Amino acid sequence: MHLRLNRRLGPYRVVARLARGGSSDVYRAFDTLARDEVALKLPRRGDGERERGAFEREARAQARLAHPNVLPVRAAETIGEHFVIVTPLGVEDLASRLRRRLAPRTARALAEQLLSGLAHAHAAGVAHLDVKPQNAILLEPERLCVSDFGLARVLRRPRWASGSGTIGYLAPEQALGRPSLRSDVFSAGLVLWEMFGKHLPIWPFEWPLPGAARIERDFGPAVVAVLRRALAILERERPPDARALLAELRAALGGHAAEVHGAGATAVGARSAA
């Protein structure tokens, strides 16, 4: 389904199509009541019961996660014959941002926000299952929100069948239909490696991965070790969820900051003595 530009859906006037996915389209629209711009997400393959049910599950999963780093759902409703998910309009997605230079300080801030949003979801028992740069939206240049919970599942059992996801960011067990919260850890590890090292690792991994030297230089060897653990092929060798990965990353980054600060202080002292 393709919406005509300038078409009205309830209070929303369609301005442009922003993205086309396998099952949905995302449009830029103007909210004539709130007088601001929003993003509209609609099913692409018609409005059958299956597609409507999937969208309603996505809206419920995302709406129940109230966190600064989870993209808020402003509305999820049927307008005419269409079910529409309405969210704030982002500046760009992380995939677009990664095409330009990303300073280490900015990369660190965005990485922590990505993991904070996932950690909140994991604390609620929700696995995202499609973590990738395209599903991280920047509402402001340095404010990131996790988005697109279309594959998300609320865990009621240790396992459930699902082989869906995005090739290149998919954990091995998820590809086999056995995902868990650790599958999100693996995918997030790939995104963080891409952010910090400027390379997306391709499985099967051969260590050291491309970008390892850059990560060690900019963030310290402890960060390389944390990401290597997140990218372990065996689930049991990874952090159990995004909360644990975030804690490990912060500890590693904090240690590196202390080392850099100490080195700077030593250098200043040496110059003063001279």
Is the four-CA dihedral 225, 230, 232, 234 of positive or negative sign? positive
- Catalytic: 241? no
pLDDT category at 149 given cuts 50, 70, 90 is confident
Q: Using CA atoms, how far apart are residues 70 and 50, in angstroms rounded to an integer?
A: 25
Q: Using CA atoms, how far apart are residues 119 and 260, in angstroms rounded to an integer?
A: 28
The CATH topology of domain 11-88 is: Phosphorylase Kinase; domain 1 (3.30.200)
pLDDT of residue 259: 65
The CATH topology of domain 92-260 is: Transferase(Phosphotransferase); domain 1 (1.10.510)
Give the residue with greater pLDDT, 169 vs 83. 169
Domain with CATH 3.30.200.20 in the chain: 11-88
Mean pLDDT of the chain: 87
- Compute φ and ψ for 30, nearest 5 degrees: -110, 125
pLDDT of residue 23: 75
Does residue 272 register a pLDDT over 50? no
- CB crowding 209-234: b at 16 or more within 10 Å, else e: bebbeebbebbbebbbebbbbbbbee
| Catalytic entry in 93, 130, 184, 241 | 130
Other CB atoms within a 10 A radius of the CB of residue 168 amount to: 13
> Residue 34: CA atoms inside 13 Å, Cβ hemisphere, count?
14
pLDDT of residue 229: 98
Residue 191 contacts by C-beta under 8 Å, 6 or more apart in sequence? 94, 114, 131, 132, 133, 136, 169
Distance of CA 236 to the CA centre of its chain: 22
Q: Tokens for 29?
A: 């629209």
CB 167 within 8 A of CB 187: no
Q: Using CA atoms, how far apart are residues 17 and 40, in angstroms rounded to an integer?
A: 9
pLDDT of residue 1: 58
pLDDT of residue 45: 60
pLDDT of residue 63: 83
Selection from 187, 201, 193, 182 nearest residue 243 by Cα: 182
pLDDT of residue 258: 61
pLDDT of residue 161: 45
- pLDDT tens string 110-147: 999 999 999 999 999 999 999 999 999 999 999 999 99
> Residue 153: CA atoms inside 13 Å, Cβ hemisphere, count?
20
Domain with CATH 1.10.510.10 in the chain: 92-260
